[in-house]
């Protein structure tokens, strides 16, 4: 399935380059990452997309105050993420905007 986004982000921060691949953005993707792009969550909360793992485009940022821990790509547009405070976030637009799905100590009302 390719490189894990968190590993890709860690390697990117350490200056490692991942192998290049033939990838191109999906036409009409409306800012969401193409299905074959790497998605990464940086330590500062930035959500990044990259076709070959050597160059990255910022897609968005987790809400202010979030301490990023993990992000997964359920689809190119649907990105669930969690932080170190056990809060869970969700983006339906490839990481541009985020909704708080769960925050410890608060009752979830859905979205």
**DSSP structure string for 35-57:** TTSEEEE-TTSEEEEESSSSS-E
- The pTM score is 0.61
* pLDDT over threshold 70, residue 111: no
CATH of 5-13+33-102, one of 3.40.50, 2.60.120, 1.10.10, 2.40.10: 2.40.10
pLDDT (tens digit, 9 = 90+) per residue, 35-80? Answer: 567 888 999 999 999 877 788 999 999 999 899 999 988 888 999 9
Q: Where are the domains of the chain?
A: 5-13+33-102
- What's the confidence (pLDDT) of residue 33? 52
**How far is 19 from 24, CA to CA, in rounded Å?**
15
């Amino acid at each position: 399935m390719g490189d894990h986004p968190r590993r890709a982000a860690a390697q990117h921060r350490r200056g490692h380059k991942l192998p290049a691949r033939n990838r191109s953005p999906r036409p009409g993707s409306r800012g969401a990452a193409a299905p074959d792009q790497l998605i990464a969550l940086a330590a500062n909360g930035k959500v990044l997309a990259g076709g070959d793992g050597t160059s990255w485009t910022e897609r968005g940022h987790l809400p202010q105050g979030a301490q990023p821990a993990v992000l997964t790509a359920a689809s190119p547009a649907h990105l669930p993420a969690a932080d170190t405070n056990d809060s869970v976030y969700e983006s339906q637009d490839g990481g541009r905007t985020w909704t708080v799905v769960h925050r410890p100590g608060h009752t979830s009302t859905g979205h």
